[in-house]
A and B are shown apart, each in its own frame.
Chain A
Amino acid sequence: MALTGIEIYKKLPKTNCKECGVPTCMAFAMKLAAGQAELSACPHVSEEARAELDEASAPPIRSVTIGKGDRGLKVGGEIVMFRHEKTFYNPPGLAVLVTDEMDSAEVDRRLKSFKELEYDRVGLLLRADLVACKSTSGDAGKFEALVKKVQSEVEGGLILISEDAGVMEAGLKVSADNNPLIYAATSDNADAFAKLAKDNTCPLAARGKDLNELVELTQKLTGAGLKDIVIDSGARGLRQAFQDQIVIRRKAIQSKFQPLGFPTITFPCEMTDDPMKETLIASTFIAKYGGIIVLSDLNGHSLFPLLLERMNIFTDPQRPMATTAGIYEINNPDENSPVLITSNFSLTYFIVSGEIDSSRVPTWLLVFDTEGLSVLTGWAAGKFVGDAIGPWVKKCGITDKVKRLKLIIPGVAAAISGELEEELPDWEISIGPREAAHLGAFLKQL
């Protein structure tokens, strides 16, 4: 819960020593309250006050890390209901299921998919995050062997699934160092599982039969001193599960209700037998508040759309809708490839580059800085015009890359071709289609 400047001030040393870089403790407290300073800037604050202030400034949904190092996955930590209110911070982790009764070739295939299905997209690496190892046999030895195998073959965090403390202990014995998520504490095994989580310092998932039971359970676990908790409302029908996600997020953020202030875990893999439908169920949890989403399998055709959705929903909406200006190489162009120019409005760029890409025609795309305006608006605003574009084309470096100086401009900006010819006397200016949809056909007949 956010504290006011005065409340924070009461906990500071009140010596005005200035070491935090601010003249007085009061001024520093004000900055902290406004989120413009970090408490660590004050070297004199007492341990006790630090703990209190940290607690008070923690986000309403705890952030929990599963796994370690580079492949550690942080979930939770969200502070808003709608992405446009600020942004969503931590994309939900996607997990693939393997069990200790599965054919070993099948386990191998899934692990191979987990490792191989990685996609590079505009500088982002998109991939699944976790492997969920489930004990279906109830045999501790089998579970231990599965966990050991998974751990040795893949990087990335683990979820250990069993409700039997003995089985779970066997899995933890070989993986606790990697900080796996323990799934799950229930009202039947809560004490034993709380102890396992504590002894191994691993995050623990709690599953209730419904939200009420879940609340009792998390209160019990936090009472036992556990902090890193992930929650499952137990619902496996879409309507109830969807509603629970919303209620949990709302309770945590709007009512500051701490027993539900944790990231969630969802199981599309248990909600349908149809893999296509499972993908759509997963897609609802990406949009609405899933913290971890466990899938029954990983296939490119279903994983990739989910990764795109996740990338979209978790893009910071405060970021201007602009793409970096510059030269973009599409389909490996060479010195004879055509040169196109467009504006740096993100959507324009996405659509134009997508059309060029799917045409397979090697092309240089110049993205000109119109401050995020589309071509037509940019032209009307005097930004996408000859005397601005001309000098930039000369110095952007494209002339070192191509022999044939022919510049294709968007059809809707045909009016600037005359000015551009004056600005770029060495270039031949030609007019492309008005609609991006016609770019493919246009490029192919060049």
Chain B
Amino acid sequence: MEIEKIKYTGKVKEISIGKEGKAITVGGENSYPFYLFEGEMPHKPKIAMEVYDSAPEEWAEAALEPFKDVSGDPAAWAKKCVEECGADAIALRLASTDPNTKNTSPEQAVEVVKKVAEAINVPLIVLGSGNAEKNTAVLRKVAEECDGLNLTLGPVEESNYKQIGAAAIGFKHTIIANTPIDINLAKELNVLLGNLGVPDGSILMDPTTGALGYGMEYTYSVMERDRMAALTQEDEKLQFPMLNDIGTEVWKIKEAKIPEKEEPKLGDAKKRGILIEAVTAVSFLLAGSDILVMRHPEAVKLVRSIIEDLTAT
């Protein structure tokens, strides 16, 4: 029986992140995700593990437990993710820079970034807090002070792309362009970054990640539309690899945290949290994710084995 194949006219750009010798490459696919009977995926999706810049306060017990011994020491934590869980990259979240929490300074952030970068031999992704205004100052400072580290910085939004973008160009970092679940806004921000002079090889797209049961489908469909435009409509300004910031979104939902004894029908709390994270991740893999930022080592392991099975030869 003949299988009608789709004629893909576009291709996702191949982008390398990280310092020479520690770099990884993502993207390059020329078909819908895992449609390997009619296209290629030269680089399997990668998993970056999330590390907080200080001991997290509100994490679910199940998510914190594997990192209890290192949670106050981001460098040790990052090392553990790489050495014990095989993380392809580390995503350091500068949570304590948020004015609503510890409000640490951009200088303090730079210090943590350097320490973590030093400790690992994989690419370092640096994520700001939920505060876009503060992120502008923090990420700009990090970009300027970490010359030569080839960081990946985000989220970069329409409100702060100029400041962070300029610093990223100057010091050769990659940018994570974040837009609120909208294909047109995503394209627009990529155009703006291009106009600013950010090279195509230095942009990743973050479509904004909704958790399972909390808007996952909006992200899912926007990603499918992004890929459709990139691969079949030659929309060059959408041909960038995509990153999903999953761990932090899924582990804050009520159902990932509630103990079994309060909701017996939801089953074992640890397994439930892991599966909520992993099912969200698999959904986004199927929608086109190239980098998954994840939290729980067991979820990472499970998702990696699904990637292996989907690409098995």
Binding site for B on A (CB under 8 A): 82-84, 116-119, 121, 211-212, 215, 237-239, 242-243, 246-247, 250-251, 254-255, 276-277, 279-281, 283-284, 287-288, 299-306, 308-309, 311-313, 315, 317, 321, 346-347, 350-351, 354-355, 357-358, 374, 433-435, 437-438, 440-441
Closest 7 CB pairs between A and B?
Answer: A300-B267, A301-B267, A301-B272, A238-B309, A308-B213, A312-B217, A358-B254
Q: Tell me whether B279 and A83 are in contact (CB under 8 A).
A: no
Question: Contacts A309-B212, A312-B212; is A287 near B283 (CB within 8 Å)?
Answer: yes
Q: Tell me whether B275 and A305 are in contact (CB under 8 A).
A: yes
Residues of chain A within 8 A (CB-CB) of B130 are 435, 437
Q: Tell me whether A239 and B309 are in contact (CB under 8 A).
A: yes
Q: Tell me whether A358 and B257 are in contact (CB under 8 A).
A: yes
Question: Contacts A347-B181, A440-B58; is A300 near B220 (CB within 8 Å)?
Answer: no
- B255 contacts partner chain A, Cβ-Cβ < 8 Å: yes
Interface positions, chain B 253-269, Cβ under 8 Å from A, are: 253-255, 257-258, 263-269
A/B interface sample: 27 pairs, CB < 8 A: A82-B224, A84-B221, A116-B265, A118-B265, A237-B309, A238-B310, A276-B302, A277-B305, A277-B306, A279-B275, A280-B302, A283-B283, A288-B286, A301-B266, A301-B267, A306-B279, A309-B212, A312-B212, A312-B216, A313-B220, A317-B217, A357-B254, A358-B253, A358-B257, A358-B258, A434-B100, A437-B252
Give 1 or 0 for each of B279-313: 1 = CB within 8 Å of chain A CB: 10011001100000000001000110110011110
Distance, CA A247 to CA B36, complexed state (A): 12
What's the least CB distance linking A164 to chain B, in Å?
29
What's the least CB distance linking B242 to chain A, in Å?
16
Question: Contacts A211-B1, A276-B275, A358-B253; is A83 near B217 (CB within 8 Å)?
Answer: yes
Supplied contacts A238-B306, A304-B267, A306-B279, 6 more A-B pairs, CB within 8 Å: A251-B1, A276-B275, A284-B282, A288-B286, A302-B275, A312-B213
Q: Tell me whether A305 and B276 are in contact (CB under 8 A).
A: yes
Binding site for A on B (CB under 8 A): 1, 3-4, 34-37, 58, 98, 100, 130-131, 180-181, 210, 212-218, 220-221, 224-225, 228, 252-255, 257-258, 263-269, 271-272, 274-276, 278-279, 282-283, 286-287, 298, 302-303, 305-306, 309-312
Residues of chain B within 8 A (CB-CB) of A281 are 306, 309
Distance, CA A435 to CA B95, complexed state (A): 13
Interface SS of chain A: helix
Among candidates B35, B257, B312, residue contacting A238 with C-beta atoms closer than 8 Å? B312
What's the least CB distance linking B298 to chain A, in Å?
8
Distance, CA A354 to CA B57, complexed state (A): 18
